[in-house]
Chains A and B, each alone.
Chain A
Amino acid sequence: METQPGRPLVLTGLFEVQFIALQNSLVPRSKTLTPEQKQISLNIINEFLSEKSKFDHFRFKLFLILIDLYSFGVGLSPFRLLSEAKKQAVLNHFFSSPIGLFRKGFWGVNTLAKMSVYSQNFIYKEINYERKPFTS
């Protein structure tokens, strides 16, 4: 996957910091990534998002902001500075929200976090996933 030329990166600055915090909670395995694997995980997300519309970028960032706003309500801190227990509470709130838009927004962020880790080849050995060797 190649980043679309001329498209600005979505995960930059505070949004990148926020996403990393979410990634660490949504996919705890990501906390054990090497710096190189971590960067690849962020590149995967930026490359994927580069093919989406500006409106999709806006919605994604808005949802990250929404998570932080709710976090302030829960623990008077942005998400990344909450305790682990409060982070889980925030994530569960969106995961099971009675508001459909919140569940769907959470599904999107959750899916991106899973993609950033589980689509990387290095994980295969760790999770005992082995493809049949083959050369065409």
Chain B
Amino acid sequence: MTKDLHNYDIIIIGSGAGGGTVAKELASLCSKGAKIALLEWGGLFDKKDNTRQELEMAGKYYFDHGGFLTQQQDLTLGFAKAVGGSSKVFTGTSLKLPDEVVKKWNVPDLTSIDLAPRYEKYFLENNVHFKSRDELNENETLFEQGCKSLGWDCQQFPIATKDCVGLGTCNLGCAASAKQGTAEVQIPKAQSLGVELITFCRVDKIRENEVYATIVPAEHGLAQSKLPVGKHKFRAKKIVISAGAIHSPALLMRSFGSDFLPAIGRYFTCHPALMLAAKHPRKINNLIGHPKSFFVDAFVPSHHVLLETCMYFPFTLAKNLSGFGQDIDNFIRDFNRLQMILALAIDPAERHNHIGIKRDGSPYVSYQFHENTIQGLLAGVRKSAEIFFAAGADSVHAPGADSFLIEKRDKENIATMVKRKNFKLGKVSIAAAHLMGGCRMGEDARTSVVDPWGRLHKQKDVYVADASIFPAAAEINPIMTIMALADRVAETIKKDIL
């Protein structure tokens, strides 16, 4: 039985990079009398709630502890449930969509010129800047040195942080609240202008101008929702879905049927990634400081792989090392000698890779690796090994190699030692956190779910504003593009309302 009926002008579902941005951009309407609600399934974390304990924080922030398995069980997906969504657990990396990707996406009216001022707005709001040299640790500078000695173009990431103290545990949330995601920037601004944030609010389905939700009990010792636990119904003139690439398509399918649009849930991409590690002959400063400051995108066109610095935690490292037994124990015991690189494959948008819903309405992901994606990961392994050895590493763990480690003496043979036949799905640990597609943009309702401005095809007053509207992979870290596109959607809603 529905307990309460709540009337709003605009309801935004999901408070991540997309929903938080829409909330802030529409908040000015509150001063003209508009009632706007931002519904979030997760809770509001304060920095004091962050213990920096690996398993505990993974359980608090992520669906399935960050290990949501695809149907094929050879890929894990990481996405968050909290006010701020996955912007609570990203590393602050802030890039614009490359011009060539904008052109590849080929979405009418979507141009780099249109996006440019939007990026600039969020770079300013979220304090995007380059870390100074003295803020960079050796895990970062060794990557830079390795690339330079190989003659590869290595670039520094602009990072969205403020008063960062270099805790290095960004992917477990920020215990210093230095990371500038929507929870820290856009949502407080939206609330100050009158947007109502409703936490622990799980949206079950929507209908025309109606949202059916359940307020769930608070978790993890966080503050309860402002609404009582139980079923609630909301009415709104406009509904914005920003529940992420997994939950936005799932919500639409639960609401309007799995086949209400041919492309619903389809063309899912995720930049599948391998975490690679090498051991140096000496201790290196790898754990204090920002963990993701450099990247190489030079191999994206040729090898479909992006390389980035990274530094993770003991269990995350152990999980990502391909193997078992004494090899793993021996490698991990010298954590302060380890350098790490993340190799992200740029995967093609294929119709059969999709989000669907099970009988109970919960989402599943079906994802089959394209051979180019696997070759991209292999190229990532080989290129990373070259960087590690060029930086002075003694040994490199290379999934797909004939042995657990490639030693320095064999560094000239990397290309032949890392073999496709060794790289078997299910044997190597592949994970992804850049979840994109499922409600792709386009003009044709046969091949897209929303129009170029985020309006849902065939259903008035519903918009989608998150990474699910990406027509293909972003080929770089997506968060700023999510925000820029959400800004476009908010602009569209304002025009549609007036």
A residues lining the B interface (CB < 8 Å): 1, 25-29, 44, 48, 88, 91, 95-96, 100, 103-104, 106-108, 110-111, 113-115, 117-119, 121, 123-124, 126-132, 134, 136
Interface of B is mostly: loop
Q: Does B333 contact A (CB under 8 A)?
A: yes
On chain B, the residues within 8 Å of A104 by CB distance are 73-74, 426
Q: Check A48/B65 contact, CB under 8 A, given A129-B314, A129-B336.
A: yes
Q: Does B55 contact A (CB under 8 A)?
A: yes
Which of A25, A26, A103, A119 is the one whose CB lies under 8 Å from B315? Answer: A119
Which of A29, A110, A131 is the one whose CB lies under 8 Å from B329? Answer: A29
Cα A115 to Cα B47 with chains together (Å): 25
Q: Check A107/B427 contact, CB under 8 A, given A119-B55, A127-B314.
A: yes
Q: What residue in chain B is nearest A26 (Cβ atoms)? A: B324
On chain A, the residues within 8 Å of B427 by CB distance are 95-96, 103, 107
Q: Does B30 contact A (CB under 8 A)?
A: no
- Are the CB atoms of B324 and A127 closer together than 8 Å? no
Of the listed stretches B89-97, B165-173, B297-305, B446-454, chain A binds B165-173
Question: Shortest CB–CB separation between residue B80 and chain A, in angstroms?
Answer: 16
Cα A127 to Cα B334 with chains together (Å): 6
Cα A107 to Cα B424 with chains together (Å): 12
Cα A130 to Cα B314 with chains together (Å): 10
Which of B73, B319, B326 is the one whose CB lies under 8 Å from A115? Answer: B319
Q: Check A28/B329 contact, CB under 8 A, given A132-B166, A136-B175.
A: yes
Which of A29, A115, A131 is the one whose CB lies under 8 Å from B55? Answer: A115
Question: Shortest CB–CB separation between residue B323 and chain A, in angstroms?
Answer: 8
Cα A106 to Cα B336 with chains together (Å): 29
- Are the CB atoms of B329 and A134 closer together than 8 Å? no
Q: List 22 A-B contacts (CB under 8 A).
A: A1-B59, A44-B55, A95-B324, A107-B73, A111-B319, A111-B429, A114-B315, A115-B315, A118-B314, A118-B332, A121-B53, A128-B334, A128-B336, A129-B287, A129-B313, A129-B314, A131-B52, A131-B287, A132-B287, A132-B288, A136-B48, A136-B50
6 closest A-B pairs by beta carbon, nearest first, are A103-B426, A104-B426, A129-B335, A114-B318, A119-B55, A118-B315
Cα A96 to Cα B322 with chains together (Å): 11
Question: Shortest CB–CB separation between residue A71 and chain B, in angstroms?
Answer: 16
- Are the CB atoms of A127 and B333 closer together than 8 Å? yes
Question: Shortest CB–CB separation between residue A28 and chain B, in angstroms?
Answer: 5
- Are the CB atoms of B314 and A28 closer together than 8 Å? no
Cα A90 to Cα B183 with chains together (Å): 49
On chain A, the residues within 8 Å of B314 by CB distance are 118-119, 123-124, 127, 129
Taking CB atoms and an 8 Å cut-off, the chain B residues in 196-232 that contact chain A are none
On chain A, the residues within 8 Å of B177 by CB distance are 136
Query: 6 new A-B pairs (CB below 8 Å) besides A114-B318, A127-B335?
Result: A25-B325, A96-B424, A111-B319, A129-B336, A132-B166, A132-B167
On chain B, the residues within 8 Å of A107 by CB distance are 73, 426-427, 429
Question: Shortest CB–CB separation between residue B140 and chain A, in angstroms?
Answer: 15
Q: Does B4 contact A (CB under 8 A)?
A: no
Interface of A is mostly: helix
Question: Shortest CB–CB separation between residue B275 and chain A, in angstroms?
Answer: 13
Question: Shortest CB–CB separation between residue B142 and chain A, in angstroms?
Answer: 17
Q: What residue in chain B is nearest A108 (Cβ atoms)? A: B73
Q: Does B115 contact A (CB under 8 A)?
A: no
- Are the CB atoms of A91 and B52 closer together than 8 Å? no
Question: Shortest CB–CB separation between residue A122 and chain B, in angstroms?
Answer: 11
Q: Does B425 contact A (CB under 8 A)?
A: yes
Chain B 108-119, CB-CB to A under 8 Å as 1, else 0, gives: 000000000000
Of residues B65, B169, B336, B427, which shows the largest number of chain A Cβ atoms within 10 Å of its Cβ?
Answer: B427
Q: Check A131/B169 contact, CB under 8 A, given A91-B325, A121-B53, A136-B50.
A: yes
On chain A, the residues within 8 Å of B429 by CB distance are 107, 111
- Are the CB atoms of A110 and B324 closer together than 8 Å? yes
Q: Check A134/B175 contact, CB under 8 A, given A118-B332, A123-B314, A127-B314.
A: yes
- Are the CB atoms of B55 and A128 closer together than 8 Å? no
Taking CB atoms and an 8 Å cut-off, the chain B residues in 59-75 that contact chain A are 59, 65, 67, 73-74
Q: Does B350 contact A (CB under 8 A)?
A: no
Q: Check A130/B169 contact, CB under 8 A, given A27-B329, A123-B314.
A: no
On chain B, the residues within 8 Å of A28 by CB distance are 325-326, 329
- Are the CB atoms of B325 and A136 closer together than 8 Å? no
Question: Shortest CB–CB separation between residue A25 and chain B, in angstroms?
Answer: 7
Question: Shortest CB–CB separation between residue B37 and chain A, in angstroms?
Answer: 30
On chain A, the residues within 8 Å of B175 by CB distance are 134, 136
On chain A, the residues within 8 Å of B317 by CB distance are 118
Which of B67, B168, B176, B319 is the one whose CB lies under 8 Å from A114? Answer: B319
Which of A91, A103, A106, A130 is the one whose CB lies under 8 Å from B287? Answer: A130
On chain B, the residues within 8 Å of A100 by CB distance are 74, 424-426
Cα A26 to Cα B59 with chains together (Å): 24
Q: Does B56 contact A (CB under 8 A)?
A: yes
On chain A, the residues within 8 Å of B407 by CB distance are none
Q: Check A103/B424 contact, CB under 8 A, given A95-B324, A110-B324, A119-B54.
A: yes
Question: Shortest CB–CB separation between residue B399 and chain A, in angstroms?
Answer: 12
On chain A, the residues within 8 Å of B73 by CB distance are 104, 107-108
Question: Shortest CB–CB separation between residue A111 and chain B, in angstroms?
Answer: 5
Cα A41 to Cα B25 with chains together (Å): 47
Of residues A104, A126, A129, which shows the largest number of chain B Cβ atoms within 10 Å of its Cβ?
Answer: A129
- Are the CB atoms of A26 and B167 closer together than 8 Å? no
